[in-house]
Amino acid sequence: MKAPSFTSLAVVASALVSAVSAADLDPIVIKGSKFFFKSNGTQFFMRGVAYQGSVTNSSATDTFVDPLADADGCKRDVPLLEELGTNVIRVYAIDTTADHTECMQLLNDAGIYVVSDLSEPSQSINRDSPVWDDTLYTRYTSVIDALANHTNVLGFFAGNEVSNNASNTNASPFVKAAVRDMKQYISSSGYRDIPIGYATNDDAGIRTQLADYFNCGDASDSVDFWGYNIYSWCGDSSYTESGYDVRTTEFETYNVPSFFAEYGCNEVQPRPFTEVEAIYGKNMTSVWSGGIVYMYFEETNNYGLVTIESNGDAKTLTDFNNLKTELAKVTPTGVEMASYTPTNTAARSCPTSDADWSAATNLPPTPNKELCTCMLSSLSCVAASSVKDTDAADLFSYICGDAGIDCAGIIANGTTGVYGAYSMCSPLERLAWAMNAYYEENSSSSDSCSFSGSGTTQVAATATGSCSTLLSEAGGTAGTGTVTSLPSSTAKTTSSTSSDANAAGSVSAPTVSVGAFKIGASMLVAMLGGVALVLV
Active site residues: 161, 262
For 357-376, the DSSP string reads: B---SSPPPPP-HHHHHHHH
**Going along 56-136, which residue ranges are E strands?**
88-91, 113-117
**Going along 66-213, which residue ranges are E strands?**
88-91, 113-117, 153-160, 196-200
Cis peptide before 79 (omega within 30 of 0): no
CA distances (Å), origin 400, targets 52, 435, 438: 41, 9, 9
HSE-up of residue 266 (Cα within 13 Å, Cβ side): 16
Count of C-beta atoms within a 10 Å radius of residue 308:
18
Cα of 112 vs its chain's centroid, Å: 21
Coil, helix or strand at residue 507:
coil
CA distance 351 to 208: 9
For 208-262, the DSSP string reads: HHHHHHTTSS-GGGS-SEEEEE-----SS--TTTTTHHHHHHHTTT-SS-EEEEE
Residue 178: burial class (beta carbons within 10 Å; 0-12, 13-18, 19+):
buried
Q: Which of 298, 295, 292, 265 is nearest to 279 (CA)?
A: 292
CA distance 136 to 59: 13
Find out whether 439 and 448 touch, Cβ atoms under 8 Å.
yes
Cis peptide before 527 (omega within 30 of 0): no
CA distance 99 to 493: 15
Coil, helix or strand at residue 55:
coil
CA distance 373 to 500: 8
Coil, helix or strand at residue 384:
coil
State in Å, rounded, how far the first CA of the chain is from the last one.
44
